[in-house]
Amino acid sequence: MIQTDYLHDAVSLLQQLIATPSVSRDEAKAADILEKTINGYGYAVNREGNNVWVMSDNFNSEKPTLLLNAHIDTVKPTTSWTRDPFSPDIEGDVLYGLGSNDCGGGLVSLLQTFRHLTSHEQSYNVIYLASAEEEVSGVNGIRKVLPLLPKIEVAVVGEPTGMQPAIAEKGLMVVDAIAKGLSGHAARGEGVNAIYGALDDIVWLRNYRFDKVSDLLGATLMNVTIINAGTQHNVIPDECRFTIDIRTNEYYKNEDVFEFLCSQLKSTLKARSFYLSSSFISIDNSLIRRCMAMGMKPFGSPTLSDQALMCFPSFKLGPGDSSRSHSANEFIRISEIADAIDRYIRLLDGCEL
């Protein structure tokens, strides 16, 4: 009966959230819903901006602390939706709606798990955190909350993984590059073409391979994804700008990769940030061993999450399928939410961190 109640409450809450647009940096109304819901469960809620969190009663600083985290924001709906993205329609086992899979299913399942875990004594403290601005790695998201929390031993991040533990994920660094030349008249062959200077660097980027390849995450990848140069057909361009998308595995720090690129390329480089690092938790961690004992299979995830901002061990584990994220007619199965609540409770209730 308790599990049925948890599932009913989870689905009802998710429907409310889907019906409330919460695109990144505009999550206030969704945060209001979560705050009201958690208060209704009898907990004292903390809030910083659009981030909402709650801590287990009788918090004991002598115990280790488990963080349950998922995000409340969504991307903007694509134009290819054939349904209303904000209409939480249920058809059979399927609940449609923007954010249902990424990561509404994990968000509501972890909240119900928090309720269960805090209903009786555990050997650890529990914090449930619904964070904002995950999709844009915003400054007012989880980065604003983590300094306000006590020391975290380990975190479960409710991203859609098919309820298999993602024990590593790639980092991200975006680098803006500028190749300089000298303008001149194209008919007279004057000037120095900045595009050709950029091409030399782009060819190097295309051909270079990093030595250390991860068993979980594969190679560190670099791709030139944007390029812009020139003003008109008869003017030699004196500047060419291009953007490099870099996905690091756990063997490379973003800062070290950037320094290496600066030593190899002629273009002027500027990294937008360094903080979205690759993350990894040991397969020997007690929760990962427990996952494996339950038949789950650890893997490496190519997609980024708030896990990149956590300076403590963490892993992704949540209902749904990553391939549905950011896609038209996004959905989550109700049976996936039920399975997630059940597995989370079996994994975490009575465990040792």
Tens of pLDDT, residue by residue over 163-185, are 999 999 999 999 999 999 999 98
Quick one: pLDDT at residue 303? 85
Quick one: pLDDT at residue 2? 56
- Specify whether the CB–CB gap between 47 and 35 falls below 8 A: yes
- C-alpha distances out from residue 82 to 45, 85, 110, 239, 329, Å: 37, 8, 30, 42, 7
Report whether pLDDT(323) > 90.
no
Report whether pLDDT(22) > 60.
yes
- pTM for this model (two decimals): 0.88
pLDDT in tens, 259-300: 999 999 999 999 999 999 898 999 999 999 999 999 999 999
Quick one: pLDDT at residue 326? 87
Report whether pLDDT(335) > 60.
yes
**Integer Cα distance of 235 and 232 in angstroms:** 6
**Integer Cα distance of 256 and 9 in angstroms:** 47
* Element holding 239 (H helix, E strand): strand 239-247
Report whether pLDDT(316) > 70.
yes
Q: What is the average per-residue pLDDT within 30-58? A: 96
Beta strand pairing call for 279-280 and 166-169: antiparallel
- C-alpha distances out from residue 323 to 25, 86, 92, 162, 345, Å: 24, 20, 21, 10, 25
Quick one: pLDDT at residue 58? 87
**Integer Cα distance of 175 and 171 in angstroms:** 13
- C-alpha distances out from residue 104 to 4, 30, 110, 154, Å: 18, 11, 10, 21
Instruction: Name the DSSP class of 246.
Output: E
Q: What is the average per-residue pLDDT within 65-82? A: 96
pLDDT range class, residue 26, cuts 50, 70, 90 = very high
Q: What is the average per-residue pLDDT within 62-77? A: 96
**Integer Cα distance of 196 and 174 in angstroms:** 22
Report whether pLDDT(1) > 60.
no
**Structure tokens of 168?**
């590593």
Nearest to 170 by CA among 235, 219, 233: 219
Quick one: pLDDT at residue 234? 93
Q: What is the average per-residue pLDDT within 314-338? A: 94
Quick one: pLDDT at residue 240? 98
